[in-house]
């Protein structure tokens, strides 16, 4: 293969995704592994990276830009947070782990923190930068659904403020490690989802009772597993929308996420009268890493 000009890494808690990039910002190869930050000790990162990208290297020193939890305190090397309000990227603040292999020239993008209310992001700032690369004048709210969904106010190219909701991780923990696991399918039911979004939005305090009702209706009324699955998802998203109302009501909202979750949020928002376009999280990550690479080279 053509050796890349530089390498982009989306290095999260559970996965490592690598992109071999040309000077022009084209992807010539992709690779991924489950060597996420969560499964690595500090001295394991270099080996995990080489395992994935060794074929892309020659004798030259290779510029590598990484975003995500790789820069956390438990990661390879800590990349200090930028403090909101802030532009999403500041390549002057990149963290640089030392490597045994001299060909690796690794730089990690800092996350963003907020003092009050206390909040942090790592990786999403790069997706936001990617979104702003395509729409530099965006003024509104970006919602990034996921394990920890983020709502970020964007104005004048800056992250003005943001708030994280543990919705995705609550879904996983509740569906896998509670009694609900006995009655959840992997299929979907749009009507059950939308009804549950409305339930969550209108009575968020009922979450604990509504969760148990999924189980009770399974036992007493034969609630179908796919409906139970859609209802759990809708209930949690509805509660998030109840809390984030001021972030979307009458606002210019766009979503950045992976399907199908981002489409569920889109549907839930649409039902509240909010038309939110969806951008792919992977595309926005790559676009943000490309923006960071250009900024680092001073060509931005």
- Which chain residues interact with a copy of itself by CB under 8 A? 73, 113, 115, 117-120, 148-149, 163-167, 169-170, 172-174, 176-179, 203-209, 211-213, 216-217, 219-221, 236, 239-240, 242-243
Q: Residue 118 Cβ, how far from a copy of itself at the closest point, in Å?
A: 4
Q: Residue 280 Cβ, how far from a copy of itself at the closest point, in Å?
A: 24
Q: Residue 99 Cβ, how far from a copy of itself at the closest point, in Å?
A: 26
Q: Which is nearer to a copy of itself, 103 or 163 (CB)?
A: 163
Whether 63 contacts 92, CB under 8 Å: no
Q: Which is nearer to a copy of itself, 164 or 262 (CB)?
A: 164
Lookup: tokens for 44: 């394991």
* Residue owning tokens 């930028």: 82
Q: Which is nearer to a copy of itself, 70 or 236 (CB)?
A: 236
Q: Which is nearer to a copy of itself, 63 or 146 (CB)?
A: 146
Q: Which is nearer to a copy of itself, 46 or 199 (CB)?
A: 199
Q: Which is nearer to a copy of itself, 52 or 170 (CB)?
A: 170
Q: Which is nearer to a copy of itself, 31 or 213 (CB)?
A: 213
Question: How far apart, in whole angstroms, are the C-alpha atoms of residue 241 and residue 194?
Answer: 12
Q: Residue 18 Cβ, how far from a copy of itself at the closest point, in Å?
A: 24
Residue 126 neighbours by CB under 8 Å, 6+ apart: 10, 67, 68, 88, 89, 109, 284, 285, 288, 289, 292
Q: Residue 172 Cβ, how far from a copy of itself at the closest point, in Å?
A: 7
Q: Residue 115 Cβ, how far from a copy of itself at the closest point, in Å?
A: 7
Lookup: tokens for 242: 């109840």
**Alpha helices per DSSP H over the chain:** 45-53, 124-134, 167-177, 190-202, 207-221, 225-243, 245-248, 261-271, 281-296
Question: How far apart, in whole angstroms, are the C-alpha atoms of residue 250 and residue 238?
Answer: 17
Question: How far apart, in whole angstroms, are the C-alpha atoms of residue 28 and residue 204?
Answer: 47
Alpha-carbon distances, residue 287 vs 8, 125, 127, 163, 242 (angstroms): 10, 12, 7, 23, 31
10 Å Cβ neighbour count for 77?
A: 16
Whether 2 contacts 22, CB under 8 Å: yes
Residue 145 neighbours by CB under 8 Å, 6+ apart: 167, 168, 255, 257, 261, 262, 264, 265
Q: Residue 88 Cβ, how far from a copy of itself at the closest point, in Å?
A: 18
Question: How far apart, in whole angstroms, are the C-alpha atoms of residue 180 and residue 300?
Answer: 50
Q: Which is nearer to a copy of itself, 82 or 207 (CB)?
A: 207
Q: Residue 279 Cβ, how far from a copy of itself at the closest point, in Å?
A: 23
């Amino acid at each position: 293969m053509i050796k890349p000009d530089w390498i982009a890494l989306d290095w999260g808690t559970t996965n490592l995704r690598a992109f071999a990039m040309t000077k022009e910002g084209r992807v010539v190869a992709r690779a991924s592994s489950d060597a996420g930050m969560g499964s690595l000790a500090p001295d394991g990162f270099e080996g995990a990276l080489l395992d994935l990208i060794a074929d892309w290297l020659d004798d030259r020193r290779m510029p590598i830009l990484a975003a995500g939890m790789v820069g956390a305190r438990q990661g390879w090397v800590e990349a200090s947070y930028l403090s909101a309000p802030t532009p999403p990227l500041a390549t002057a603040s990149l963290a640089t782990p030392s490597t045994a292999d001299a060909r690796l020239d690794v730089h990690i993008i800092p996350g963003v923190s907020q003092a009050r209310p206390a909040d942090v992001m790592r990786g999403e700032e790069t997706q936001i930068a990617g979104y702003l690369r395509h729409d530099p004048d965006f003024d509104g709210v970006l919602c990034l659904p996921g394990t920890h969904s983020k709502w970020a106010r964007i104005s004048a190219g800056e992250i003005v403020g943001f708030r994280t909701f543990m919705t995705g991780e609550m879904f996983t923990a509740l569906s896998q490690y509670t009694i609900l696991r006995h009655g959840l399918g992997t299929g979907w039911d749009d009507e059950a989802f939308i009804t549950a979004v409305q339930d969550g939005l209108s009575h968020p305090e009922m979450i604990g009772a509504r969760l148990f009702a999924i189980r009770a209706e399974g036992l007493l009324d034969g609630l179908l597993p796919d409906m139970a699955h859609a209802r759990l998802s809708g209930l949690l998203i509805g509660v998030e929308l109840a809390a984030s109302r001021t972030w979307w009501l009458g606002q210019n909202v766009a979503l950045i996420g992976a399907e199908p979750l981002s489409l569920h949020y889109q549907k839930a928002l649409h039902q509240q009268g909010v038309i939110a376009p969806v951008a792919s999280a992977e595309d926005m990550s790559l676009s943000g890493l490309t923006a960071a690479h250009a900024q680092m080279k001073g060509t931005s």
